[in-house]
Structure 1
Amino acid sequence: MPQTIKISPNTTLLKSDPALPLSTTWFDPEFWQSQQALTGTGNGRGAVWFINSQFGKFVIRRYRRGGLIAKFNKSRFLFTGLANTRPWLELSLLETMNKLSLPVPRPIGGIFTVKYGFYKAELLTETITNAEDLFDIIKNNRSDKIGWNEIGKVIKHFHNNGIYHSDLNCHNIMIDEQDKVWVIDFDKCEQREPNKEWKQSNIDRLKRSIDKESNQHSNFHVSEELWQAFLEGYHG
């Protein structure tokens, strides 16, 4: 479980890597920009910043809401205790998955600040070096250059360990230069008892995300043969 450090009555720092001198400034993109260590930004389930520092390469992700509620509340969550906060849950799951040797980012830390019964939070993980997400690989017409069978095997490995990914899609699967498959973004995910229903729902969600992107981008295509290779890898 992450180490908790009370910074103030309202702010709590969560630390997964005791070897790093983690502080509140590590979650501030402007601090890293002042150190000339901010290398880029991105979007996903939260706002994302990429850091290249003397301590290593990291990703900051600010938790944000989705759906209709995001129109009037972008980043505040009801506080019901430490163990229910987004960064605590995600860091704890990442630590578990690292112990299981699953291909996920190394957890570094998190932070949350409570105000008027709601909290805002950020997560810090290690960058996966020289990796691209599946979406970009497919969009760049390289879908037939990667191991779909291996992707299926990796997802099966997660499922065999009871890891349920609530948003398994082509943006959350990454492949590095050594063709190693990684899975990222475990907000609202959990370890649960293996069950055919939720495993199949994960696979269906991934397929829907591929079909959705295919409908939106003319240069985004995954052949039935490649998808069958994925399924063969998954089912063994």
Structure 2
Amino acid sequence: MPESVSLSAQTQLLTCDPNLPVDANWFDANYWQQQNALKGTGFGRGAVWFIHNKHGDFVIRHYRRGGLIAKFNRQFFLYTGLQHTRPWQELHLLQTMQELGLPVPKPIGGLVERSCGFYRAKLITQVIPNAQDLFEVLKAGKSDSVDWFNLGQVIHKFHQNGIYHSDLNCHNIMIDKENKIWVIDFDKCQQRPITEQWMQENIARLERSLNKETAKHPQFSVSQTQWQAFLEGYRG
């Protein structure tokens, strides 16, 4: 599980690799910018920052709320103990999945800052080198380059280890230059008892994400044959 260090009465640093000198500065985009190590940003529910330094390539993610509540509260969550915070749970799950041999990013650390019974938090994971998300591959019209059978096998392996991804979609599946498939973004995910219901719901969620993007982008497409290959790989 992640190691915890108190930086102050209200701030906890979480680390996963004793060989990395992770401190509070690692979670500050301005710190990296001053060292010319800030290599890019991305936007989804919240901003992410891509870092390149002598220790490797990392991504910083600021936990953000979504949905209606985000209009009133973008970044604060109720604090009920460190092991219930989102970065602790995500780092712990990533460590568990790495031990299981699943293709996920290496967990690096987290920062939890408390205030008046609430907390805000950031997470650092290692960047998957030379990889694109499945969305970008399909948006470029390269669906034929995807090994759909293997993709099904990979998702099946997660499920057979009880890994439930709460937001399995084409943005959270990565393919590197060796055609290895990775799964990312495990916020609010968990290892749970295996049941057919949640596994099928997970597959249906992925299919909905593909259909949604197909309707939005002219080059984005997944043929029935390709989806069938995915299902065959998943079913073994």
Please give the range of the TM-score, normalised by the shorter of the 2 chains. Answer: over 0.9
Give, in angstroms, the shift of residue 43 of structure 1.
2.1
For 2:52 and 2:185, locate their aligned partners in 1 and report how far apart those are by CA, in whole Å: 20
For 1:189 and 1:44, locate their aligned partners in 2 and report how far apart those are by CA, in whole Å: 18
Structure 1 runs of 4+ aligned residues shifted over 4 Å read none
Give, in angstroms, the shift of residue 125 of structure 1.
0.5
For 2:144 and 2:71, locate their aligned partners in 1 and report how far apart those are by CA, in whole Å: 39
* Matched residue, 1:164: 164
- Aligned 1:1-236 pairs, distance under 5 A: 1-236=1-236
What SS does the aligned partner of 1:110 have?
A: strand
What SS does the aligned partner of 1:169 have?
A: coil
For 2:21 and 2:151, locate their aligned partners in 1 and report how far apart those are by CA, in whole Å: 35
For 2:139 and 2:216, locate their aligned partners in 1 and report how far apart those are by CA, in whole Å: 11
Give, in angstroms, the shift of residue 215 of structure 1.
1.2
Alpha-carbon RMSD across the aligned residues, in angstroms, is 0.7
Give, in angstroms, the shift of residue 218 of structure 1.
1.8
What SS does the aligned partner of 1:114 have?
A: strand
Give, in angstroms, the shift of residue 87 of structure 1.
0.2
What SS does the aligned partner of 1:102 have?
A: coil
Query: What is the CA deviation profile of residues 157-214 of structure 1, one whole-angstrom value per residue up to 9, with x for unaligned ones?
Result: 0000000000000000000000000000000000011110000010000000011111
Give, in angstroms, the shift of residue 116 of structure 1.
1.2
Give, in angstroms, the shift of residue 46 of structure 1.
3.2
Give, in angstroms, the shift of residue 44 of structure 1.
3.1
User: Unaligned 5+ residue runs, structure 2?
Assistant: none
For 1:43 and 1:187, locate their aligned partners in 2 and report how far apart those are by CA, in whole Å: 16
Greater Cα offset, 44-53 or 5-14:
44-53
For 1:118 and 1:53, locate their aligned partners in 2 and report how far apart those are by CA, in whole Å: 32
What SS does the aligned partner of 2:170 have?
A: coil
For 1:235 and 1:45, locate their aligned partners in 2 and report how far apart those are by CA, in whole Å: 32
For 1:71 and 1:134, locate their aligned partners in 2 and report how far apart those are by CA, in whole Å: 30
Work out the number of aligned pairs and report it.
Answer: 236
TM-score by length of 2: 0.99
Query: What is the CA deviation profile of residues 39-84 of structure 1, one whole-angstrom value per residue up to 9, with x for unaligned ones?
Result: 1111234321100011110010110000011111111111111111
For 2:47 and 2:232, locate their aligned partners in 1 and report how far apart those are by CA, in whole Å: 35
The residue identity in structure 1 corresponding to 2:136 is D
User: Unaligned 5+ residue runs, structure 1?
Assistant: none
Query: What is the CA deviation profile of residues 105-126 of structure 1, one whole-angstrom value per residue up to 9, with x for unaligned ones?
Result: 0000001100111111000000
TM-score by length of 1: 0.99
